């Protein structure tokens, strides 16, 4: 059975304000889904809920037809999540950070890691402590994980931030490749993407009257 993630009547809130309500969706193997909406519409909140980092929601989430409460281990075993923070230990080098992630993924190949760092423009920085790198370079250390991590489900929050046009094209190719291999990619981005079959969900379509009134007052 291929991957399947289902959202049933999902409602999320932040700071006692409902961001969106009544979200129903089924994400299946082979799909790339872009979550859209203006700042404050709940894009990051939704991703945090989907990655189990937040339980501040109502409704039901199923993974492979099992409730999250029963399928959490299986879900997390299939997940790679990149959030706003790069998720790198600054006292370690890029190579050391990626080696830790690669061991956690169950495979170890220094050659693959070197190739991944080169692919994100960090060739020559493999042994430089991450605290000496810029914020953009630290972000690219995190993105290098996408070149070797076998997880079939990717959830990515603004993955194109701080990378150049060449890097954007390479990342788009990776995302498309993951979907074609039977994975699911759910992401937020302001980047225009042109994947065949790209699916978009605009959270503005799920705002409540209270939310719209709050936005109008800002």
Check residue 217 and give its pLDDT: 55
Cβ atoms 164, 118 nearer than 8 A: no
User: Which residues contact residue 26 at a Cβ distance below 8 angstroms, ignoring those fewer than 6 apart?
Assistant: 4, 5, 6, 7
Check residue 127 and give its pLDDT: 95
Domain spans, the chain = 1-78+152-218, 87-150
Check residue 212 and give its pLDDT: 56
Residue 12 has pLDDT above 90, yes or no: yes
The alpha carbon of 98 is separated from its chain's Cα centroid by a whole number of angstroms, namely 17
- 15 or 211, higher pLDDT: 15
Residue 207 has pLDDT above 90, yes or no: no
Q: How confident is the model at residue 32 (pLDDT cuts 50, 70, 90)?
A: very high
The mean pLDDT of 11-36, rounded to a whole number, is: 93
Check residue 195 and give its pLDDT: 77
Check residue 174 and give its pLDDT: 93
The mean pLDDT of 9-32, rounded to a whole number, is: 93
Rounded Cα distance between 158 and 160, Å, is: 6
Nearest to 71 by CA among 173, 149, 1: 1
Residue 46 has pLDDT above 90, yes or no: yes
Check residue 77 and give its pLDDT: 92
Residue-wise pLDDT for 33-42, tens only, equals 999 998 889 9
The enclosing H or E element of 185 equals strand 184-188
Residue 94 has pLDDT above 60, yes or no: yes
Q: How confident is the model at residue 30 (pLDDT cuts 50, 70, 90)?
A: very high
User: pLDDT over 70 for what percent of the chain?
Assistant: 94
Cβ atoms 12, 45 nearer than 8 A: yes
Check residue 211 and give its pLDDT: 56
Determine the longest span between alpha carbons in the chain, in angstroms: 54
- For residue 36 the two structure tokens come to 């859209």
CATH class, 1-78+152-218 region: alpha beta
Query: What residues pair up with 7 in beta bridges, in sequence order?
Result: 25, 61
Task: Match 């996408």 to its residue by tokens.
Answer: 146
Mean pLDDT in the chain? 89
């Amino acid at each position: 059975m291929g991957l399947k993630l289902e959202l049933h009547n999902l409602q999320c809130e932040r700071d006692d304000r409902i961001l969106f309500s009544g979200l129903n969706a089924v994400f299946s193997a082979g799909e790339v889904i872009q979550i859209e909406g203006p700042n404050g519409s709940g894009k990051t909140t939704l991703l945090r809920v989907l990655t189990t980092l937040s339980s501040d929601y109502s409704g039901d989430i199923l993974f492979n037809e099992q409730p999250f409460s029963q399928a959490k281990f299986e879900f997390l075993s299939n997940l790679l999540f990149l959030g706003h923070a790069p998720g790198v230990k600054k006292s370690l080098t890029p190579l050391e950070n990626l080696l830790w992630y690669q061991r956690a993924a169950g495979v170890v190949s220094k050659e693959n890691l070197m190739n991944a760092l080169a692919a994100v423009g960090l060739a020559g920085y493999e042994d430089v402590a991450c605290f000496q790198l810029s914020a953009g370079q630290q972000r690219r250390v995190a993105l290098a994980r996408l070149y070797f991590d076998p997880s079939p489900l990717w959830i990515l929050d603004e993955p194109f931030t701080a990378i150049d046009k060449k890097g954007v094209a390479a990342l788009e190719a990776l995302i498309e490749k993951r979907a074609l291999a039977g994975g699911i990619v759910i992401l937020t981005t302001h980047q225009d993407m042109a994947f065949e079959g790209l699916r978009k969900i605009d959270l503005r379509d799920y705002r409540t009257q209270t939310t719209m009134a709050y936005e109008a007052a800002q």
